[in-house]
A and B are shown apart, each in its own frame.
Chain A
Amino acid sequence: MSVEQETFVDRYPQEAELVRRAFLVAFTALGLGALFGIIQALHRTNVLRFIPSTDYYTVLTAHGVLMVIVFTIFYLVGLYQWAITRSLDRSPTNINFTRAWLTLMTVGSALTGITILLGFVDQVGISADVLFTFYAPLQAHPLFYTGLVVFIIGTWLAGVDWFRTWLHWKQDNPDERIPLQTFMVLTSMIMWYVATIGVAVATLFFLLPWSLGFIETVNPLLTRTLFWFFGHPVVYFWLLPAYMLWYTVLPKLAGGRLFSDPLARVVFVLFVLLSTPVGIHHQYVDPGIAEGFKFIAMTNTMFLLLPSLLTAFTVVASMEHGARQRGGEGLFGWLTVLPWRDPAFTGMALAGLMFAAGGFSGMINAGMNINYLIHNTIWVPGHFHLTVGTAVALTFMAGTYWLWPQLTNRRIYSRPIGLLQVVMWFGGMALMSNSMHVAGLYGVPRRTAEPEYAGFDFNTAFGSISELNIQLAVGGTLLFVSTLLFLGNLGLSMGNPKVEGLGQSLPEPLSGASDSPRVLDNMKLWAGIALLLVALAYVLPLGAIIQNGGLFGMGGDAYPVSVLGAFDGLDAVRELLGVVR
């Protein structure tokens, strides 16, 4: 490691600026996403409805895309840029390349984001009310898909940048083990390359040409399956940066060291291998996919529990080790000496706790036949607000409280407000997620503006639907206030004077890299096995879908969610290219 009290920004000012820029985009998306979140929470519970229900779906699309694409992935690239630079102690090979991919990602997100938001302005005729999953034959404006493609290319180049930095480092240090954080960055990116094959094929070969009118029809089941090819591993792409913080920063905050470096590597390798060949578990109740393929996806999914269970052990063990270093004693007494006053620590610890709860509801989702009961009910958003909405989002916010001073040389404006913020998130999410899970069991659907029906009422086993609605609305409000406190606290921090001596180092693990087998560092091997597993899980079902339903489907129209007039401008393009409709 570098000199003890040097911060990241002292040593790498240009890189720190890029990390801050990525975080700025992430937090802008977080703020907007939270605004749309509270609008939904109040609208669907009928507490306060000030938008027409048709606009609800614009809000829902924006909330989904801003939160789980823009917020999470921009935070990821910022964190990973910090991690790889720090752990290799080396600048990117060409920082202009780093700037370029970050700009590309920003442009892509802006294109997609603006296309979605234009859905509020009917006069423009451009919109993309297709939700985060953009299932065809619902059709968004071509700019929506274009933005997505540009964004993904940006992330691919980010991976190229990081692999290049690592390869250059390896030339200079041929015999050294890959530092743990770099290992995490590289494995995450291998997973991302494998995962994005699905969405890239769906968007580039089918949806974008279709939205431009170059092809008449698509096979909705095929594009849907390709979406979920990407749609499940993407959740690990959100989660892995949080894991990085839990493995490398949380033990330090607890006052100890990571329990085991080799097992951390094993966990990340398992994610590379198993994250993608599971996507069909989002399609348990889809027609056109044989039961056997669903069973394979389920088995893989269940084994994917393993790395998370191992993480639970290591994280808790590292915290306990830290607490005992601080003089904690007794079976549970050590809990009392942990630094609960520190929002970075408390946020991550509470996020981990909620992830355990999210894991349990995830096991229900993964159960092939239990899934019938909860598929597409509000149980499912209840589940992923515990995982991505808390395990990931709260860890990112908590991590920021620790990382921000390293990136700016400024102290956080207020630690007590930070503590209140993370605790409020925990409480708010407990209320909101609980009510969603329970309502889901009663059959209340997700993704709807008004879950009230003319012909029947939902039966409740206890309590009432209106009580659950109040829980959801109160929880959502707490989460919104918590987000405002976070953003406000961070904004006010920029008014703090720059000071010296904020630098903090990360301690080495108890069981270090030298304990782990060399084969773990063989990136080509893991990428190869991952691709093989993906082929095993996907070649046959995709082949069957194409054989039965046709590469471009059985026919059927496109259903643009934008006003048809919006496509007039594209006629010129079509004529130019000689495409006849």
Chain B
Amino acid sequence: MSDRGPIVKTRGGLLVAWVFLLVFGFELRTALGLFLGVDVPAVPYLGTLAVALTLFAVLADFQRASAQGEA
């Protein structure tokens, strides 16, 4: 039924995943604080998370590009 064919994995998906996981990590901190009383310092935690996710995104993008290059 689709008017477009099967689509390739895109950078759009990586952007969404990046933001989603960052938000998820952020909410996790809130849950830790409210339910367990663990006060994780916001800036270092979110900074580390952002850097880690960016690294992950770059690697995933590299893998995606090389996989598409072979195909």
Contacts and interface: CB of A to CB of B under 8 A. Distances in A.
Contacts of A31: none
A326 B7 contact: yes
A441 B34 CA distance: 10
Interface in B17-42: 19-20, 22-23, 26-27, 30, 33-34, 37-39, 42
Contacts of A346: 12, 16
A336 B12 CA distance: 10
Interface of B: 1-4, 6-7, 9-13, 15-16, 19-20, 22-23, 26-27, 30, 33-34, 37-39, 42
A341 B11 CA distance: 7
A462 B39 contact: yes
Given A322-B2, A340-B12, A341-B11, A434 B39 contact: no
A340 B13 contact: yes
Contact of B19 (A327, A423, A462): A423
A339 interface: yes
B45 to A, nearest CB: 11
A463 B38 CA distance: 10
Given A441-B34, A462-B33, A463-B33, A426 B13 contact: no
B13 A256 contact: no
Nearest to A462: B33
Given A346-B12, A461-B33, 18 more contacts: A252-B1, A255-B7, A256-B2, A325-B1, A339-B7, A340-B10, A341-B10, A341-B12, A350-B20, A420-B15, A426-B20, A426-B23, A430-B26, A438-B30, A438-B33, A462-B39, A467-B42, A505-B3
A342 interface: yes
B1 A257 contact: yes
Contacts of B27: 430, 434
A282 B30 CA distance: 27
Nearest to A471: B42
Given A255-B2, A326-B2, A337-B7, A431 B26 contact: yes
Nearest to A430: B23
The 8 A-B residue pairs with the shortest CB-CB distance in the complex, in nearest-first order: A341-B12, A462-B33, A340-B13, A255-B2, A340-B12, A462-B39, A430-B23, A341-B10
B9 A461 contact: no
Interface string A490-516: 000000000000001101000000000
Nearest to B17: A340
Contacts of B23: 426-427, 430
Nearest to A504: B3
A152 interface: no
A338 interface: yes
Nearest to A508: B1
B34 A419 contact: no
Contacts of A257: 1
Interface residues on A, range: 35 or more
Contacts of B2: 255-256, 322, 325-326
26 contacts: A256-B1, A256-B2, A257-B1, A325-B1, A325-B2, A337-B6, A337-B7, A339-B12, A340-B10, A340-B12, A341-B11, A342-B12, A350-B16, A350-B20, A353-B20, A419-B12, A430-B26, A430-B27, A434-B30, A438-B30, A438-B33, A438-B34, A461-B37, A462-B33, A505-B3, A507-B1
Contact of B37 (A322, A342, A462): A462
Question: What secondary structure prevails in chain A residues at the interface with B?
Answer: helix
Contact of A326 (B6, B19, B22, B30): B6
A441 B11 CA distance: 38
Contacts of A426: 19-20, 23
A423 B33 CA distance: 26
Contacts of A434: 26-27, 30
Contact of A337 (B9, B26, B42): B9
B1 A340 contact: no
A434 B31 CA distance: 10
A327 B8 CA distance: 10
Contacts of B20: 350, 353, 426
B1, B6, B10, B33 — which one has the most chain A CB atoms within 10 A of its CB? B1
Interface string A390-425: 000000000000000000000000000001100100
Nearest to A470: B42
B71 to A, nearest CB: 13
Contacts of B11: 341
Interface in A230-262: 252, 255-257
A15 B23 CA distance: 41
Contacts of B26: 430-431, 434
Nearest to B15: A423
Nearest to A441: B34
Contacts of B42: 463, 467
A6 B42 CA distance: 52
A419 B4 CA distance: 19
A358 B9 CA distance: 30
Contacts of A419: 12, 15
A20 to B, nearest CB: 24
A330 to B, nearest CB: 13
